[in-house]
Amino acid sequence: MASALPPRAPRRSRADAQQRRERSAQLLALFAWHRDTPLVAKSLGLSLDELHAELDDLKLRRKAYRLVRGSDAEIAIVEPVPGAPSGPPVRRRSRRSPTAAAPPAEAPQTPQAPAASQGARPELPPDKRADAQPRFGDRETSGAAPVEDQAAQLRALLAQVGPRRAALAARLASVRHPLSERVLLARFRAAGLEREFGQRERDLLRGLFARHHGSLGAVASALGTDVDTLRRVVRERGLEREFEAARERFRGEARKRRWPREQIEQLVRRRDWLADLGIVDEIQRDVLAKARGAWESAGGSLERLRRELRISERDARALRDLLS
């Protein structure tokens, strides 16, 4: 019997493919013109994270950054399109050397060429000019002030929310552009806060792990994430061996609880914690083996079972359900 083939990805329509080609050509032209990624993002009105996501979607990131890092000799030569009308010839003024003598006073002044013939950049809309307010997350290359402002904003948010990735991503995301974990860490790295964020996250993980006695489920719930993501973060921060040693210590403490009251209360009231540590079946077998004799001697009486084991009525009822 032939194995089922994986479903193919839906093919894009011609209009969609044509739109992607036009967008790719526009982005590459901007990269070839500006030769600077933040300027390209600013001209498009996007943040760096949004621009990177679009480049990855169009599979242009490596090609675009080749244009940024390359020299002028690597830029393709612009040639006229056959059959297309060409514009007026462009006449550029040569640069004068600083040691050149000043022209005589009677020399006629050369009329200034119009801005279009000098190859000037087109006028940008007000919201995309250089004096416009930068969006949160953009980086500027003109100075360190924008980076310092972004670092101050991230520090303030980190003080409010703490190093909780899910909560930080929710605060920094917009309605149309949800923030992924990779982009979140990239923002802290760009602001020079990667080390500070990592140390605070390690301290938070250690504190939550000690508070919840090694329960991965309880720690993940406190961080607003799932257990698999928590395990990955613990592994990234180099805490896997430390936490596993702590979990083994908590398992040893659970096995050494005194009989009968502490062991029965632990099995009845902290069953989820024992299951998270992976020893709930072991503890239950041990408790039921010890309590079966008392249950038989009590003759099915819940009150006699409670007095003999010196446990509460609620614990005696739960133990009776397990025994029966």
Domain final position from 36, 52, 71:
71
Nearest alpha-carbon partner for 200 in 175, 168, 248, 232 = 168
Tokens found for residue 45: 């009105």
State the Cα–Cα distance between residues 131 and 19, nearest whole angstrom: 31
pLDDT at 91: 57
262-289 core/surface letters (b: 16 or more CB in 10 A; e: else) = ebbbbbbebeebbebbebbeebeeebee
Residue 108 lies inside a defined structural domain of this protein: no
Residue 89 lies inside a defined structural domain of this protein: no
265 and 258 in contact (C-beta within 8 Å)?
no
Residue 241 lies inside a defined structural domain of this protein: no
pLDDT at 174: 77
Residue 94 lies inside a defined structural domain of this protein: no
Domain final position from 175, 193, 211:
193
237 and 205 in contact (C-beta within 8 Å)?
yes
Residue 276 lies inside a defined structural domain of this protein: yes
Residue 211 lies inside a defined structural domain of this protein: no
Note the Cα 117 to chain centre separation in Å: 46
134 and 46 in contact (C-beta within 8 Å)?
no
pLDDT at 274: 96
Residue 222 lies inside a defined structural domain of this protein: no
Task: Specify the number of domains making up the chain.
Answer: 3
| DSSP states of 22-74 | HHHHHHHHHHHHH--HHHHHHHHT--HHHHHHHHHHHT-HHHHHHHHHS-GGG
Bond prior to 260 in cis (omega within 30° of 0):
yes
51 and 36 in contact (C-beta within 8 Å)?
no
Cα separations (Å) of 225 from 158, 167, 192, 196, 232? 18, 10, 25, 21, 11
Domain final position from 29, 49, 71:
71
Taking the CB of residue 294, how many other CB atoms lie within 10 A of it?
16
Cα separations (Å) of 285 from 139, 251, 260, 281? 61, 15, 14, 6
Amino acid at 323: L
Identify the domain containing residue 306 by its residue range.
257-324
The angle formed by the CA atoms of residues 257, 258 and 262, to the nearest 5 degrees, is: 75
pLDDT tens track, the chain, 324 positions: 455 555 555 566 888 888 889 899 888 888 888 888 888 888 888 887 888 888 888 988 888 888 877 655 555 555 555 665 655 555 555 555 444 444 544 444 544 444 444 444 445 454 444 444 444 444 443 444 577 888 899 999 999 999 999 999 999 887 677 788 999 999 999 889 999 999 999 999 999 999 999 999 999 999 999 999 999 999 999 999 999 999 999 999 999 999 999 999 999 999 999 999 999 999 999 999 999 998 888 888 889 989 989 999 999 999 999 988
pLDDT at 7: 58
Residue 5 lies inside a defined structural domain of this protein: no
Q: How many contiguous H segments (helices) and E segments (strands) does the chain have?
A: 16, 0
pLDDT at 62: 86
